[in-house]
Structure 1
Amino acid sequence: MSRPTEGILSDALTHLQTMQAYGGRDLDDQLVIDAICMRLSAGIETLATLDAELRESLFGNNWPLMWGRCNRIARGYLLVDSAIVYQTLKYDIPTIVAPMRST
């Protein structure tokens, strides 16, 4: 039995909004970077459970990039660059969250 779309989107938004809140902290602190990366990964993994057509309509060609980011965090965790985390927070997350809120 699959979960309702609203629940999936709500959970993913919670992860991403919490991640954004962590972004207001010291990004030179490895603990903060780790927390941000874990929330980003959890949010993306949650979105992976959406119906593929809905995911495509929400994220289009960005989905493979998002999934790749999740895999990079999971498998190359020691190589995560805090500058990339900052860029993700500032530029990528708003473009991910916006279509989710309008659904």
Structure 2
Amino acid sequence: MNSQLVLDALCMRLSAALEVLHRLDEPTRERLFGGNWRLMWGMRNRIAHGYLLMDPAIILRTVAIDVPGIVTAIRTELDDPPSASD
């Protein structure tokens, strides 16, 4: 399979996932991602407005290192959401 095709698909999936996370209310995003959210959204903007210029190493590193932590944070939130009194 063409590696550029795979990279393009990864970029589009990352962008779509970040779009969905952007719909969360700000306190939830802050709780889940802290100061990383601005960087995450910045990556989405780079992908959405010129992903052909993205460094493939950054995308691959993001998928390998950062995405698993994001998935874990979301799963933890879904399994044990904060109570109304938190």
Shared fold, TM over 0.5:
yes
Q: Could you tell me how far apart the structure 1 residues matched to 2:59 and 2:52 are?
A: 13
1:30 correspondence with 2:16: no
Shift of 1:76: 2.0
Flag as ranges the 4+ runs of structure 1 deviating above 2 A.
Answer: none
Shift of 1:62: 0.6
What TM-score do you get using the length of structure 2 for normalisation?
Answer: 0.83
Counterpart in 2 of 1:84? 58
Max Rg structure: 2
Counterpart in 1 of 2:72? 98
1:50 to 18, 24, 35: 24
Q: Could you tell me how far apart the structure 1 residues matched to 2:19 and 2:38 are?
A: 12
- 1:60-96 deviations in whole A, cap 9, x for unaligned? 0010000000001111212112111111111111121
Q: Could you tell me how far apart the structure 2 residues matched to 1:54 and 1:78 are?
A: 31
Aligned residues: 77
How many percent of aligned residue pairs carry the same amino acid? 56
Aligned CA RMSD, in angstroms, stands at 1.2
Runs (5+) with no aligned partner, structure 2: 78-86
